[in-house]
Amino acid sequence: MSALAAMVRSRPVVLMVSAALALPALTSTSAAADERITAAERVLKDHVVLTAGQGGTVKVKETIVYRFAGHDGFRRTFPTRTHESLSEDRVYKLENLRAGSPDGGPSKVASSEGETTTTVTVSGGGKLTGDRTVVLEYDLRGAITRQGAAEELRWPVIGGWKVPLDEAKATVDGDAMIRSVNCFTGPIGSTIGCTQYYTNHTHTQGVYAQQGMLPGEYLTVVAGLPAGTTGGHALYERRHTLATAFSVNGVTGGALAGLLVLLLGGLAVLYLLRGRDKRVVEKKAAEGDQAPLAGAEFEPPDGVRPGQIGTLIDEQADVIDVTATIVDLAVRGYLLIEEEDRARTGRLDWTLRRLDRPQVDLLPYERILLDALLTAPDGTGRDAVKLSELGGTFATKLAQVRSAMYDDVVKQGWFARRPDTVRSRWTIAGILVTLLGIAGTVALAFTTEWALAGLALIIAGAALAYGGQYMPAKTARGATVLAHTIGFRMFLERGALAGDAAASRQRIALFSRFLPYAVVFDAVPKWAETVKDAGERAEGADNLYWYEGPAEWDLSKFAESMRTFTLATSGSISQSRGL
């Protein structure tokens, strides 16, 4: 019983497999049967009368005697579009299609357009055999063109069959004297003449005949008419291609003009903002081009710290500004920088050691930076850290340092809004506009001739994103401070104080105070050399109060030590995840 049940259960699977295997065979058999039916069918006669009317419309009446062998209808293909140029097509319009049959043949007509052809399908209610007569009528526009002082009717009136044709005949009634006739047979564009063509005795009709045509061949008739007979003309349509999609027209021209106005307006805004800064700087820079000293004490221009200067100059709180702040914290007595003995450790490194000094004059970003340097990865405080060990919580806190530096320049009144926020907003807006432009360009290129409008949007978005980097605007106060700091840079670049009134050790202290600013201004080598010269004249000057070298180290080596320290510090910061 179980074997019988298994057999019953397996039968549907066997049937399904058998059906699946039989399906291709059935399809192949059906296709073969269709080919046999088509091979047995043919067009016995195809007689056409063309009547040219006003406006260039040609009335066409086609009488077809078709031998059926099982199909319920037939198809004819008309060439209705030719590519005249890269962007223009000549078109022929078949309108008011209708069909009828006096002897029970198919009479239902439909048409479908392809890229260059129109297929007319005439069908009936069931399979047919034997000879049937079908009368096909339609209106044709676009077949008459002006040829100098005449009109010419040219149309592949018979053909496009899938079966052979025995007898083809066409008559053109021009309702005027026909000046010339011609006809061709074969593929479209063939120059092989047809069997017979002539005009009747009144020269008002052109008669064309062809005996025997193969599937796919056409009979093209040509009739020359006097000028003004119909007033007809060729019909042309613009072809949608990549070239036409990016053509200049009213819409795209307006978009490009709007883009030009937008770009010029953006340049004007940047000129007004940047031009104001430039004018203030040129006017007030000389005020800062002098020694920033009050007696023998150092006073930075407008009380500005190195990190603030760096952020003010390029509107970015970047690596070099943080490095300059670390040096400044050491010079001001919050850190001691100790250079490791390379001969002992095998590598160049520094230790940053906390000094016991009240944090009374630290700005918020300086306090965050100092805590980041002297906080261990587990969150506990530490008295010293090697430069090579920076990371962990330090990397995380660097983002807070930068944010605090941006907040500081706004608090100082140098910017109305945070420069990084302004840049981000403009950049994000520009990227969004660019992406919208890309999507719009693709969509417009496939569907319209306005793709240049999308391209203009892409350019506008890119310009917005790029110009956004220059959009942070200083206030008048910020521009004034910038002028004084640039004047201070001019002073630093001269590399020396006027006169030799100060003692060597006092000069070392003053030049040490200048050094963090030199880091921002990229003038470290010159100022390090200045400290070296002062140290050589100062008896026993083998270290600075904020920088200690290894044994046998003196200020003659300070220039190279300072250069490598700033590079190493910037490298450690830039490799962290915070910047």
Q: How far is CA 461 from CA 243, 255, 259, 458, in A?
A: 23, 13, 10, 5
| Long-range interactions of 129-132: CB distance < 8 A, separation 24+ | 129/68, 129/69, 129/70, 130/67, 130/68, 131/44, 131/65, 131/66, 131/67, 131/68, 132/65, 132/66, 132/68, 132/101, 132/103, 132/104, 132/105, 132/106
Average pLDDT (271-296) is: 55
**Spatial separation of the C-alpha atoms in residues 430 and 266, rounded to whole Å:** 13
- Higher-pLDDT residue of 544 and 542 is 544
The answer to whether 341 and 335 have CB atoms below 8 angstroms apart is: no
Q: In what side-by-side order are the strands of the sheet with 42-52?
A: 93-100, 129-141, 58-69, 42-52, 165-173, 205-213, 196-199
The answer to whether 122 and 78 have CB atoms below 8 angstroms apart is: no
**Spatial separation of the C-alpha atoms in residues 171 and 181, rounded to whole Å:** 11
pLDDT above 90: percentage of residues in the chain: 39
DSSP string, 142-197: S-EEEETTEEEEEEEEEE--SS-EEEEEEEEE-SS---EEEEEEESTT---B-SEE
Q: How far is CA 515 from CA 109, 214, 297, 511, in A?
A: 94, 96, 15, 6
Q: Topology of domain 42-238, per CATH? A: Immunoglobulin-like (2.60.40)
| Residue 218: per-residue pLDDT | 96
Those residues whose C-beta lies under 8 Å from the C-beta of residue 48, and which sit 6 or more positions away, are 60, 61, 62, 63, 157, 158, 169, 170, 171
Phi/psi of residue 502, nearest 5 degrees: -80, 145
Comparing CA positions, the residue from 428, 412, 409, 427 lying closest to residue 314 is: 409
Residue 535 pLDDT > 70, yes or no?
no
The answer to whether 160 and 76 have CB atoms below 8 angstroms apart is: yes
* Cα-Cα-Cα-Cα dihedral sign, residues 394, 396, 401, 404: negative
pLDDT digits (tens, 9 = 90+) for 89-111: 999 999 999 999 999 999 999 99
pLDDT digits (tens, 9 = 90+) for 202-248: 889 999 999 999 999 999 999 999 988 898 899 998 877 777 777 77
- Higher-pLDDT residue of 466 and 138 is 138
Average pLDDT (514-535) is: 74
Q: Which two tokens mark 514? A: 């200048």
The answer to whether 270 and 467 have CB atoms below 8 angstroms apart is: yes
Comparing CA positions, the residue from 397, 264, 372, 398 lying closest to residue 319 is: 398
Residue 26 pLDDT > 60, yes or no?
no
Q: In what side-by-side order are the strands of the sheet with 150-159?
A: 144-147, 150-159, 218-226, 180-186
Q: Which two tokens mark 314? A: 């390029």
Burial of 453 from C-beta contacts in 10 A (0-12 / 13-18 / 19+): buried
Q: How far is CA 188 from CA 152, 183, 218, 229, 447, in A?
A: 17, 12, 7, 27, 30
| Residue 18: per-residue pLDDT | 42
Confidence of residue 12 (pLDDT cuts 50, 70, 90): very low
pTM over 0.75: no
| Residue 473: per-residue pLDDT | 80
Locate the domains of the chain by residue range.
Answer: 42-238, 289-416+473-576
| Residue 452: per-residue pLDDT | 83
**Average pLDDT along the chain:** 82
Phi/psi of residue 106, nearest 5 degrees: -65, 145
| Residue 500: per-residue pLDDT | 47
Can you say how many angstroms the Cα of residue 246 is from the centroid of all Cα atoms in its chain? Answer: 15
pLDDT digits (tens, 9 = 90+) for 420-449: 999 899 899 889 989 998 998 898 888 888
